[in-house]
């Protein structure tokens, strides 16, 4: 119920910058992420069960890269310190190829602890829409 309200509010507030993704499809695609990522709200509500190999993806929209409570690799933290904040464009770029994205962002050969790649941009946009829908505050 709480989520449905969040989705409704997100729908009202969302001013899609470009090709808005489909949150329902994104929820389905998140199956590819949940072996490593959970979505747990700040007050501890589990929105999507998942593994601990990667950081909690709750509240990702607007969050500085590498800033959650997680043992990140150095390069994503450096990117965050250099100003990388998650929005739809940075998110889709990163998940398509995390290492290449960080390398380009930092202008140096970077490493990433995330080995998974989500190549399809439309699918990444759907996952982004899903993350936005569950993170609305």
Check binding of 116 to ligand HEC (CB under 6 A): yes
**Residues 44, 46: Cα–Cα separation, whole Å:** 6
Which residues lie closer than 8 Å to 3 by C-beta, 6 or more apart? 47, 133, 134
x-or-dash string of contact with ligand HEC, 60-99, rule CB under 6 A: x----xx-x---xx--x--------------x--xx----
Check binding of 127 to ligand HEC (CB under 6 A): yes
Q: How far is the CB of 17 from ligand HEC (least distance, A)?
A: 17
Sign of torsion, CA 4 133 75 85? negative
Q: How far is the CB of 73 from ligand HEC (least distance, A)?
A: 3
**Inter-residue contact 26 to 96 (CB < 8 Å):** no
Please choose, from the candidates 112, 131, 135, the residue with its C-alpha nearest in 3D space to the C-alpha of residue 54.
112
Q: How far is the CB of 11 from ligand HEC (least distance, A)?
A: 21
Binding residues for ligand HEC (CB under 6 A): 32-33, 35-37, 53-55, 60, 65-66, 68, 72-73, 76, 91, 94-95, 112-116, 118, 127
């Amino acid at each position: 119920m709480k989520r449905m309200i969040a989705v409704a509010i997100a729908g009202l507030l969302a001013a899609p910058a470009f090709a808005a993704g489909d949150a329902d499809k994104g929820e389905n695609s998140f199956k590819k992420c949940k072996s490593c990522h959970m979505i747990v709200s700040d007050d501890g509500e589990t929105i999507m069960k998942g593994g601990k190999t990667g950081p909690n993806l709750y509240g990702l929209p607007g969050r500085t890269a590498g800033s959650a409570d997680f043992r990140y690799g150095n390069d994503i933290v450096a990117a965050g310190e250099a100003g990388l904040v998650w929005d739809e464009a940075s998110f889709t770029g990163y998940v398509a190829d995390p290492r290449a994205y960080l390398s380009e962002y930092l202008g140096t050969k970077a490493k990433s602890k995330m080995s998974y790649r989500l190549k399809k941009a439309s699918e990444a946009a759907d996952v982004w829409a899903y993350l936005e829908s569950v993170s609305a505050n």
